[in-house]
Chains A and B, each alone.
Chain A
Amino acid sequence: MSLRNIGIVYRKELTEALRDRRTLISTLIVPLVLFPILTAGLGAAIASLVGKAQEEVPKVMLRGGQDSPAIVAGLKKLDKIEIVPETPNWKDQIINKEVRAAIEIPPGFQAAVAEGKSDTVTILKYQGEMKSEIATGKIEKFLKDYRDDVVKARLTAKNVPDTVLKPFEVKQENVAPPEKVGGAAFGGVIGYMVILLCLTGGMYPAMDLTAGEKERGTMETILSSPISRMHLVLGKFFLVLTTSLVTAALSVTSMGVSFAVLEHLHAFDKAGSDAGQLQLRIGLGTVVSVFIMVLPLAVLFSAALMTIALFAKSYKEAQSYVTPLMFIVIIPAIAAMLPIDLTSKLALVPILNASLLCKELVTGTYHWNFIAIIFSSTCVYAAAALFLAIKMFQRESVLFRS
């Protein structure tokens, strides 16, 4: 093993990579820009849009209710909704979002309630449409309160305390510290982003250094030099690994900084108000441990990317081979956002294991036995992928595929 030769190839590949715009964008720009945009930009935009939707006073159409003035008066008094008169095309108006929902009060409703008979008020809505759902929620709350008032009045009339119907209260209380609450909510997304960026960071150099060399005709040039193919592939591999790790390191750093800034702004905004808000604090320890877990995964990705891209005759062909790999990585990474807990079996599933672990690390949970299994199993997969990449570089049918 000649470290000198590997170093010569690595240095040359690094020089070329630093002069390649595509590599610079995917390695440096994307991770530096993505997290601030996602946290500050996208997060703020979503919060603002949802807030606006909740603040909006939705138009609600009233159907029937002519013989039930009490409930109609109550609805009209509500400043959270705007009652509009009934039109024959009410269904189309809801679907076309001209009104957000409709309330159907059956004939003789008030009389039926007074006589103690059961009746049904129907809320007509556009299911799945956010503003319609918000309007529905507001109407539902009013109707429930109205029903409670009716019950309370009946019980009072019969001199029965209302605790008869509500013998005990139910409440929820969070015991997890705020950063764990935030981690549980966002941990899956963070693991997903870091793993995905780790792959995309190595993608362009891996294709450029294999299929790109074939396409440009430099593969034959380098193969005519005395360097052994193993040293050549290792030199190239270390460059792909560097870009992958730089992307991962920049993404976790950018993530840490983005959340720290967000937390600072959040604390400033909410100064003096309730402290039980969802917050995400990512400390240096978390950043370092996420990065360490991503290390063997970066080796696995770099070697796999090079092996796959080497089969291609051109950069374009390599792109079509590598794209399916994105899906193979995205699916387990997304799965980590689902309510799945780490088990010994899942700790052996590549990518999914690291993704689930990142989620735990972000919440500050360190299951050392899982960390050991995941780190060592990913190292084994990475070593196998690297071995395969070296073997592929020895195969004439792959190097000179035409």
Chain B
Amino acid sequence: MIEARGLSKRFQDKKRGEIRAVDNVSFTCQPGKIYGLLGANGAGKTTTLRMLATILEPTDGTAIVFGHDVVEQPEKVRANVGFLSTATALYPRLTSQEMVEYFGRLNGLDEATLKKRVDDIFNRLDMNGFRDRRCDKLSTGMKQKTSIARTLVHDPPVMIFDEPTNGLDIMTARTITAFIRECRDNGKTVIFSTHIMSEVEKLCDTIGIIHDGKLLTEGTLAQLRHKYAEQDLEEIFVKVVTPHFVAEETH
């Protein structure tokens, strides 16, 4: 389970002064469910997810991830999280197998368990054809599979996906979305950020709309449709975000 409690992140910018990238955000993600964080570019999705993955430290508030506090026990949180985004690249001079093994070892797996898990994942994701190929020689699809294997190697109960399909072709994107569903079906807690409406509609059990660092609304797709009297998620998104957008423009 993930429980964000008043998560906030402020940055100092030389030109713009203090920036509230995430402002008092609270939500809960349940095991076996996918929570979709929907927002435009710069809304605060990546910063929120980076705080949950303990890559960034919150300025205020905290989050409990699989029973561990992101501020107090960041290393324990990371040991229970698989983090995947288009920004999480692979080491070009390592082979696909070395890459996965490296992260397995960093997650504390002993050599026997590691070998078993790597063989299992490579078989499952059909990666044996390129396991000894260097990552800089892999196709985009192979790279994505290696990234998935990297996040799965320690079998984490919590999965965090930050715009994982951004910039990918349709077939590679489908591999990722299939993987996200599989994670949910295996009982993992999944949080997923995107600005693509169709992905949210297809995948998410709960949707949170984030704008300008604030979580403006959340609920199931049915609840949001009912609340905003719109069927189309894009229309709902526009309805939620527009008053704030207009207010910002006027300001």
Binding site for B on A (CB under 8 A): 5, 8-9, 12, 15-16, 19-20, 216-218, 220-221, 223-228, 396-397, 400
Is B98's CB within 8 Å of the partner chain A? yes
Is B89's CB within 8 Å of the partner chain A? yes
Is B107's CB within 8 Å of the partner chain A? yes
Given known contacts A8-B106, A15-B94, A216 and B89 CB-to-CB distance under 8 angstroms: yes
**Which chain A residues border B76 with CB–CB below 8 Å?**
226
Contact of B91 among A5, A16, A225, A227 (CB under 8 A): A16
- A selection of 15 A-B contacts at a CB cut-off of 8 Å is A5-B106, A8-B102, A12-B102, A216-B91, A216-B92, A218-B91, A220-B89, A221-B150, A225-B78, A226-B76, A226-B79, A226-B106, A226-B107, A396-B56, A400-B56
CA distance A332 to B134 in the complex (A): 43
* Interface contact B93-A20, CB-CB below 8 Å: yes
**Which chain B residues border A218 with CB–CB below 8 Å?**
88-91
CA distance A224 to B90 in the complex (A): 13
Is B57's CB within 8 Å of the partner chain A? yes
What is the distance, in angstroms, from B244's C-beta to the closest C-beta of chain A? 25
Is B55's CB within 8 Å of the partner chain A? yes
**Which chain A residues border B174 with CB–CB below 8 Å?**
none
What is the distance, in angstroms, from A224's C-beta to the closest C-beta of chain B? 4
* Interface contact A15-B98, CB-CB below 8 Å: yes
* Interface contact A223-B55, CB-CB below 8 Å: yes
Most chain A beta-carbon neighbours within 10 Å: one of B12, B85, B91, B150: B91
* Interface contact B78-A217, CB-CB below 8 Å: no
Most chain A beta-carbon neighbours within 10 Å: one of B79, B105, B108: B105
Q: Total A-B residue pairs with C-beta atoms closer than 8 Å? A: 63
Given known contacts A20-B93, A226-B75, A226-B78, A221 and B88 CB-to-CB distance under 8 angstroms: yes
CA distance A223 to B57 in the complex (A): 12
Closest 7 CB pairs of A and B: A217-B89, A224-B83, A226-B79, A221-B88, A226-B78, A19-B93, A16-B93
**Which chain A residues border B12 with CB–CB below 8 Å?**
397
CA distance A400 to B21 in the complex (A): 14
Binding site for A on B (CB under 8 A): 12, 50, 53, 55-57, 75-76, 78-79, 81, 83, 85, 87-94, 98, 102-103, 105-108, 134, 150
CA distance A183 to B106 in the complex (A): 50
Q: Which partner residue on chain A sits nearest B103 by CB separation?
A: A225
**Which chain B residues border A8 with CB–CB below 8 Å?**
102, 105-106
CA distance A224 to B85 in the complex (A): 11
**Which chain A residues border B83 with CB–CB below 8 Å?**
224
Most chain B beta-carbon neighbours within 10 Å: one of A5, A9, A15, A221: A221
What is the distance, in angstroms, from B238's C-beta to the closest C-beta of chain A? 29
* Interface contact B87-A220, CB-CB below 8 Å: yes
Q: Which partner residue on chain A sits nearest B53 by CB separation?
A: A224
CA distance A397 to B93 in the complex (A): 27
**Which chain A residues border B94 with CB–CB below 8 Å?**
12, 15-16
What is the distance, in angstroms, from A24's C-beta to the closest C-beta of chain B? 12
What is the distance, in angstroms, from A156's C-beta to the closest C-beta of chain B? 86
What is the distance, in angstroms, from A316's C-beta to the closest C-beta of chain B? 17
* Interface contact A220-B106, CB-CB below 8 Å: no
* Interface contact A217-B87, CB-CB below 8 Å: yes
**Which chain A residues border B56 with CB–CB below 8 Å?**
396, 400
**Which chain A residues border B50 with CB–CB below 8 Å?**
220
What is the distance, in angstroms, from B20's C-beta to the closest C-beta of chain A? 16
CA distance A228 to B78 in the complex (A): 10
What is the distance, in angstroms, from B65's C-beta to the closest C-beta of chain A? 12
What is the distance, in angstroms, from A223's C-beta to the closest C-beta of chain B? 5
**Which chain A residues border B81 with CB–CB below 8 Å?**
224
What is the distance, in angstroms, from A301's C-beta to the closest C-beta of chain B? 24
CA distance A400 to B53 in the complex (A): 15
CA distance A217 to B76 in the complex (A): 23
**Which chain A residues border B150 with CB–CB below 8 Å?**
221
What is the distance, in angstroms, from A295's C-beta to the closest C-beta of chain B? 28
CA distance A12 to B105 in the complex (A): 11
Known: A217-B87, A224-B55, A224-B88; 13 extra A-B contacts, CB below 8 A, are A5-B106, A9-B106, A12-B91, A12-B98, A16-B94, A218-B88, A218-B90, A220-B89, A221-B89, A224-B78, A226-B76, A226-B108, A400-B56
What is the distance, in angstroms, from B118's C-beta to the closest C-beta of chain A? 15
CA distance A224 to B80 in the complex (A): 11
Q: Which partner residue on chain A sits nearest B57 by CB separation?
A: A396
What is the distance, in angstroms, from A232's C-beta to the closest C-beta of chain B? 9
CA distance A227 to B74 in the complex (A): 10
What is the distance, in angstroms, from B218's C-beta to the closest C-beta of chain A? 25
**Which chain B residues border A216 with CB–CB below 8 Å?**
89, 91-92
